[in-house]
Structure 1
Amino acid sequence: MGGCYFFTVNLLERQRTLLTDHIDLLRDSVRRVRRLYPFHIDAWVVLPDHLHCVLTLPPDTDDFPVRWRLIKLLFSKGLPRTERLSATRRKRSERGIWQRRYWEHTITTELDYSKHIDYVHFNPVKHGYVNRVQDWPYSTFHHFVKDGILPIEWTNNSEVEGKYFGELNEG
């Protein structure tokens, strides 16, 4: 039970910008769920159409599905109804906001943990939203800098050129 996990959670319509347009609603949804079902946020980044995070659950549970279901539900309920709904989603009383599934990976080693933390923080650069990690506002990278864990110039030097950030490369 417990454990540390990496997640990728996507909007249904990947070209939308709901997550950053409604960042306060997303933050509030996460806060509310954490009060009911605790978890530790190790790293988190929110992009316009998806998010990545590394979360650690308390030792007495491994029930991350209920946490994601509630985060998605609270966020969706707070949005104005503008999305197109398929017949299946209407039948199931679902909003057309989120992809039903998400990517989950159990983190088992320190190296795996470190790579996924790096991947989370580097993601806005990878997708071309910014040139420097520190320029993306919706990331725990800023907490890592404030706490002295990472320098503000992280990834701004030649030492990281060609480095893989959490991707499947052991070399």
Structure 2
Amino acid sequence: MRDNGIFKQAKHNPPHLFLTDRLYMLTASTYKKEAYLQSDNRKLDWISAFLKASEIYHWVVIAWVVLNNHYHAIVRSPEKKINMPKFIASYHKFTARKWNAEDQTPGRKVWWNYWDSCIRSEQDYQARLNYVFLNPVKHGIVDQAEEYAFSNYRTFLSIDTWTG
């Protein structure tokens, strides 16, 4: 079941169109592109928080990659309730508080705004998948996507199906 959704726009933020049961690409970066996720443990923290939040808020995770200062993900919104801001805020707040406690920097801004876009076709889906999974290659971290440990690329290869 799909609805007409909700369109929200805040004064200093990009507009967001929220629709149920749709594929979205999410992108977020750290504040001032600081490498807060440089350590493997921080990337693992993000992965754990992101996957837990997806369970709590009923988002289906399709693809993801996390780098030193940003991440990309493709997710499917829940069928009944549109809750993207709460979903994203939950893992952003959790990771920011955890890392600020570790670094003894209470109140430090860790995350910048997120960007989302609704995926509208299979061609768009394929292009976004390539963007997500090839991001570590684009940034010169690895030569092949399957070499990068902090994405679900290898798992994804065994389960991909387009369900626009």
**Which TM class, normalised by the smaller chain length?**
0.7 to 0.9
SS in 1 for 2:23: strand
- Superposition deviation, residue 117 in structure 1: 0.9
CA distance in 1, matches of 2:127, 2:27: 15
Aligned residues of 2:54 and 2:61 also touching (Cα < 8 A): no
The corresponding residue for 2:55 is 35
After TM superposition, the structure 1 = structure 2 runs for residues 1-12 of structure 1, keeping only pairs within 5 Å, are: 1-12=20-31
Kindly state the Cα deviation for residue 24 of structure 1 after the two structures are TM-superposed.
2.3
Which residue number corresponds to residue 103 of structure 2? 81
The 1:19–1:4 alpha-carbon spacing in structure 2 relative to 1, beyond 3 Å, is farther
Unaligned runs of 5+ in 1: 86-93, 150-171
For 1:75, give the aligned amino acid.
T
Q: 1:110 maps to what in 2?
A: 122
Which stretch of structure 1 is more off in the superposition, 116-125 or 17-26? 17-26
Q: What does residue 65 of structure 1 align with? A: 85
Looking at structure 2, the residues matched to 11 and 64 of structure 1 have their Cα atoms a distance apart, in angstroms, of 18
SS at structure 1 position matched to 2:86: helix
Q: Which moved more, 1:74-83 or 1:104-113?
A: 74-83
Deviations 1:105-148 (A, max 9, x none): 11111111111011100111111111111111111111123x17
Aligned-CA RMSD value: 1.9
Q: Give me the identity figure in percent.
A: 24
Runs of 4+ in 1 over 6 A off after TM superposition: none
Which of these two proteins has the greater Rg computed from alpha carbons?
Answer: 1
Number of the residue aligned with 1:45: 65
Q: Please give the residue correspondences for 1:5-24 in structure 2 after superposition, counting only pairs within 5 Å.
A: 5-18=24-37, 20-21=39-40, 22-24=42-44
Q: Cα deviations across residues 37-60 of structure 1 (Å, max 9, x unaligned)? A: 111111101111100010001211
Structure with greater strand percent: 2
- Amino acid corresponding to residue 47 of structure 1 in structure 2: L
**C-alpha separation in 2, matches of 1:23 and 1:35:** 19
Q: In the alignment, is the contact (CA less than 8 A) between 1:19 and 1:46 conserved in 2?
A: no
Which residue matches 1:128?
A: 140
1:96 aligns with 2:85: no
Alignment CA distance shift 1:46-1:29 (3 Å): same
Match of 1:163 in 2: none
Tell me how far apart the structure 1 counterparts of residues 109 and 45 of structure 2 sit (CA, whole Å).
17
TM-score norm. by structure 1 comes to 0.73
Distance 2:70 2:32 in 1: 10
Following the alignment from structure 1 to structure 2, what is the Cα–Cα distance between the partners of residues 20 and 112?
Answer: 32
